[in-house]
Structure 1
């Protein structure tokens, strides 16, 4: 008896569309089941939340320092001695930076905290003057806004005490996590630098033989993409911070050192980071004088010119090959899910995910048989054979 003649076989079992539809339904079913038993994986997520920060921090430091270690090893220095020398230099630079810049930064932070009421008062006066000149809001509207703001804070006084206690507990937990991350990351970094070349063979050892070549290429591509992105972005961010600190010091902007340091992590956010870094200096410039606003804008223009024309082309290297719209969507999604950490790490994370999905889809094309006609057409075009 031939099953190929049956209606069920012709309509369903031999239909590529139905096979694809069944695969999608099974994938959605798996996702649905996971959402219903998410509590089973909560201990795993908690564990990852504890160990992920030091490993991520150590991974960033690894991509920044491994080129130096490889260069020293090529010069004939033993890898262990090269790592020890690098740690000594890093500790020396860290100590020098703490002794040199921490007092100045601490003084500016203390000053800006003590001056916060005065700064807000100056902002209010500046907005009043702007409103008087442009007649944006009437005095009645301003009084209503002030009354609503006062009523809001009055109503929140009771919840503020409870919220403060809760926030204090959260702050203690955050400080503890930061201390654990900073204390354990150097240890992880040491073993990453020492045994990092053993990671790929260890992974390939548990991969089926037929897949080892593809997995090896995938791991190499991930390493190249993430490494070039991390090295480029952090190097550019440090250069931007130095340029801003120098520029703000030259024009005499108040709290210029803090604004320059703030530009470093903000510059790690594509597109939006530079705009966010502009806001505090422009506000401080507006509170100082119109000439200071112009000076801040000139500093921004010079920094933008040097960054886009000199630093980024020399440092960034290979691109992630992501469309700007894709980057914006990734930033919005990662920021909504994981906050500031998601905004900073979302782009390299998406690049890794893109490589995995691309490799998986390529494998699925080969084994599913759903894309045979497309492959045959591509092969015919490559061979230059005419086809109907």
Structure 2
């Protein structure tokens, strides 16, 4: 038994790089598990730095000095943060408050629709079942509304955290963009000079993460803008709130589109009932989803992520359950990282090929 274990260890961990890679992964997991909340601003800054690096590179290609390119990129970031905090978020908050105020009317209208079910399908649905369902939905909505009220009154530290992010993250982004080469050279100083496997994984992941972050942010902005114009043209209530929800839904492949369909359909149904306007809304929403999945995504993501849909959904569930929002956002890159490690891992055949070479 010991011989089998020893042979397995020698076969998979016989190279220094393999042991070092496992140590780095364990260290990264330990830091995220213990200091995830503390490191969240740095993680957000790294994501934004990946996003803005394309702008810096483009400005550098136009012979703009690097310090000026970095400064312009950071000014764009600060302008975006100010716009979100002082212009967009207040509108979303007002629409959200108005939506909660109208929930009792929506619930009453929904009860009228549900009460038609026992008349049409008496063998499947009873009036008592409908009443129980309405009571359950009302209790859940009341609990959720109370949670929102409690959050707004007692979680003032969250507001302070948002302000800290608004100040600290742009500063970190500036230095990540300005000194990225120095930071990477500092990390390389702790690695062995001969590191083909680590170089292969880093090269693949650096390109994948950069493409994914930039492509995903652009996709969110385009889907949000198209949805907003469509909803406003159709006269849908809470157009901005719904458009933001549809835009953010692209963060969760397959699942997000299915989940956000519920509020879009519910608000359209309560606004117009079973009418032509409601059908027009659902058709327009379906067209947006189809164009996003079949046109926009292939255009934005230059390097396709060769992962099975089941693997993508499992990655979203697992990493989202572990790290929340960031786990969902990085589910596909993390799954790609696992795949890159598996492909680059020094198996017996690869080691023999390297030794022969």
TM range (shorter): 0.7 to 0.9
Using the alignment, how far apart are the partners of 2:343 and 2:309 within structure 1? Answer: 19
Provide closer, same or farther for how the CA distance between residues 125 and 147 of structure 1 changes in structure 2, counting only shifts above 3 A.
closer
- 1:351 aligned residue: 336
Higher relative contact order (CA 8 A, sep 6+): 2
Provide closer, same or farther for how the CA distance between residues 45 and 317 of structure 1 changes in structure 2, counting only shifts above 3 A.
closer
Provide closer, same or farther for how the CA distance between residues 263 and 320 of structure 1 changes in structure 2, counting only shifts above 3 A.
same
User: What are the superposed Cα offsets for residues 193-243 of structure 1, whole Å, 9 maximum, x if unpaired?
Assistant: 1011233322222212222x4433322221101111111122112111111
**Worse overlay, 248-257 or 340-349:** 340-349
Q: Write the mapping of 1:127-206 to structure 2, written as runs, cut at 5 A.
A: 127-135=114-122, 136-143=124-131, 171-206=155-190
- 2:71 aligned residue: 84
Provide closer, same or farther for how the CA distance between residues 320 and 173 of structure 1 changes in structure 2, counting only shifts above 3 A.
farther
Q: Write the mapping of 1:316-331 to structure 2, written as runs, cut at 5 A.
A: 316-331=301-316
SS at match of 2:330: helix
- 2:58 aligned residue: 71
Provide closer, same or farther for how the CA distance between residues 269 and 167 of structure 1 changes in structure 2, counting only shifts above 3 A.
same
For 1:210, which of 194, 203, 212 is the aligned residue? 194
Q: Are 2:281 and 1:293 equivalent residues in the alignment? A: no
The alignment yields a C-alpha RMSD, in angstroms, of 3.7
When normalised by structure 2's length, the TM-score is 0.79
Q: Is the 8 A contact 2:81 2:166 kept in 1?
A: no
How far off is 1:134 after superposition? 3.3
Provide closer, same or farther for how the CA distance between residues 65 and 255 of structure 1 changes in structure 2, counting only shifts above 3 A.
same
- 1:310 aligned residue: 295
Question: What is the aligned residue count?
Answer: 335
How far off is 1:43 after superposition? 9.7
When normalised by structure 1's length, the TM-score is 0.74
* 5+ residue gaps, structure 1: 1-10, 25-40, 380-388
User: What are the superposed Cα offsets for residues 293-320 of structure 1, whole Å, 9 maximum, x if unpaired?
Assistant: 2112221233134324432222111122
Using the alignment, how far apart are the partners of 2:297 and 2:288 within structure 1? Answer: 12
Q: Are 2:2 and 1:19 equivalent residues in the alignment? A: no
Provide closer, same or farther for how the CA distance between residues 18 and 148 of structure 1 changes in structure 2, counting only shifts above 3 A.
same
Using the alignment, how far apart are the partners of 2:81 and 2:9 within structure 1? Answer: 57
**Worse overlay, 172-181 or 182-191:** 172-181
Provide closer, same or farther for how the CA distance between residues 306 and 230 of structure 1 changes in structure 2, counting only shifts above 3 A.
same
* 5+ residue gaps, structure 2: 13-27
Using the alignment, how far apart are the partners of 2:152 and 2:82 within structure 1? Answer: 30
Q: Are 2:245 and 1:262 equivalent residues in the alignment? A: yes
User: What are the superposed Cα offsets for residues 227-281 of structure 1, whole Å, 9 maximum, x if unpaired?
Assistant: 1111112211211111111111111111121000111222111111111221111
User: What are the superposed Cα offsets for residues 300-355 of structure 1, whole Å, 9 maximum, x if unpaired?
Assistant: 23313432443222211112221111112212222333334422322222222332
Q: Is the 8 A contact 1:63 1:230 kept in 2?
A: yes
Provide closer, same or farther for how the CA distance between residues 131 and 69 of structure 1 changes in structure 2, counting only shifts above 3 A.
farther
Q: Are 2:260 and 1:277 equivalent residues in the alignment? A: yes
Q: Are 2:39 and 1:52 equivalent residues in the alignment? A: yes
Using the alignment, how far apart are the partners of 2:204 and 2:121 within structure 1? Answer: 56
Q: Are 2:216 and 1:247 equivalent residues in the alignment? A: no
